Structure 1
Amino acid sequence: MDWALLIGSGVLEAVWATALGASHGLRRLRPTLLFLLTTVLSVWGLAVAMQTIPTGTAYAVWTATGASLTVVWAMARGTEPATLVRILLLLGIISCVVGLRVVS
């Protein structure tokens, strides 16, 4: 259950990062409100998951999930290039996180 909560919190990290970018410096109301809500929920989920998952592993999974999904979303929307090298590097991040899960 805590692993699912941790992954969900990582997804919310991608949402808040994207909303933060869309808020234009916290000057647009809707993206700013989405940023604030998802930030609180994301950090709360991380905190709960860290009760049973080691801190280093939980934080690495949380940040890697959020960062990877943020980049994938930007590639899908066409705001960042989807090159082979970038995709391979993202797969490397994901592989490392899966490795942390396997050995924890």
Structure 2
Amino acid sequence: MKLKIYTGTEVRELRRKRGLSQREFWQCFHITQGGGRRYEAGCEIPMPMQLLLNITFGTQTQSTACVDALRALAKMPQKTMAPKPVTVPVAFDKLPFGMLP
């Protein structure tokens, strides 16, 4: 499923149809009123916010697909990286404290 990309104009209309101020609307997404104003004015809405908008305003099928994709990502096995061993030159560790080679 392809993610719908909302424009600032579309989001402004969604907000206005609900009779909410910018502060009330954007607060639900933990975005400041100023940040929301910039999005509505045409600044690019970042992908994490686009995902939240799709979950919130998309169809039930779209919302479920978004959440399922996130849950699948969370279930993926984590790659563990072994720490690289640190080797100290033999002669360097024999120097008295404070001396440089």
Q: What TM-score results when the alignment is normalised by the length of structure 1? A: 0.26
The higher-RCO structure (CA 8 Å, 6+ apart) is 1
Q: Whose radius of gyration is greater, 1 or 2?
A: 2
Which structure is higher in helix share? 1
